[in-house]
Amino acid sequence: MSDTSDAETDDESESPVSEAAESESPVSEAAESESPVFEAAEYADGTITYPPHPVSPDGAERVGTVDLAEHTAEVVTWTTATATPPGVREPNHLAIVAFEVDGTEMRALGQLTDGDVEIGDEVRPVYASELRDPEAGIREPASQSWDGFQFEPVDES
């Protein structure tokens, strides 16, 4: 399951924000030839979370990472927001999706590539270099990453 770098090599003093920012800035960190990583954290108690946290919900230490980009997920729920904040596409299709990684279910949230989905649909992660305009919102642009993964319906035909 630990198919990317070992989390124990990370600086444990880093905040979750900075960890998330690093983990999702694959373009700047990884060689351009490498695929962007959709990094979730794996813990000693078998749980997996996205985003990664310093410990699991029950306090177990991190033991590795999982690249969710290699998996598909199922739509738990979705919405289309028509009143969006500065720098955000309008309308903004969003979903909470559930991954099953080696028998362990975990969830993620992200933009949908389009709004033509239903609960239970299968989706795959697709990389986007910029999910919203970092300069337009209230948050300091340098405080976090702005790239990430949208979810695209898997064509069943």
Partner 1 sequence: MERDSTASVPTATDGGSASGDTDRSASGDTDGSASTSVTGSPQNRTGADRVAVIAASMTQFGQRDAWLQSLLAEAGQACLADAGVAADEVEHLYVSNMASGEFEGQTGAPNALAHDLGAVPAYTARIDQTSSSGGAGIYAAWQSVASGASDCTLLVGGEKMTHRSTAEATDVIASLTHPVEYKHGVTLPSFAGLTARAYLDQYDAPRESLADVAVKNHANGVDNPHAQFRKEVDRETVLESPIVADPLRLYDFCPITDGSAALLFCPESVAADYTDEYVVVSGIAGATDTHVVHERTDPTTMGGVVDSGRAAFEMADRTPSDVDVAELHDMFTILELLQFEDLGFAEKGAGWRAAASGRTARDGEIPVNTSGGLKSKGHPLGASGVAQAVEVYEQLLGEAGPRQVDADVGLACNVGGFGNCVTTTILEVGA
Instruction: Return residues touching partner 1 (CB under 8 A).
Output: 17, 20-21, 24, 49-51, 57, 76-89, 92, 94-96, 107-111, 115, 119, 131-132, 137-139, 143-146, 148
CB of 4 or CB of 144, closer to partner 1: 144
Say which residue the tokens 């991954």 belong to: 99
Min CB(78)–partner 1 separation in Å: 7
Min CB(107)–partner 1 separation in Å: 5
Min CB(13)–partner 1 separation in Å: 18
C-alpha span between 127 and 145 (Å, rounded): 13
CB of 66 or CB of 95, closer to partner 1: 95
CA angle at 26 for the pair 25 and 31, rounded to the nearest 5°: 140
Min CB(147)–partner 1 separation in Å: 8
CB of 27 or CB of 94, closer to partner 1: 94
Min CB(144)–partner 1 separation in Å: 4
CB of 31 or CB of 138, closer to partner 1: 138
**Separate counts of helices (H) and strands (E) for the chain:** 2, 8
CA distances in angstroms from 120 to 82, 89, 93, 98, listed in the order given: 23, 25, 16, 9
Say which residue the tokens 């069943």 belong to: 156
Reduced to 3 DSSP states, what percent helix, strand and coil does the chain have, rounded to the nearest 5? 15, 35, 50
Q: How far apart are the first and last CA of the chain?
A: 30
CB of 44 or CB of 88, closer to partner 1: 88
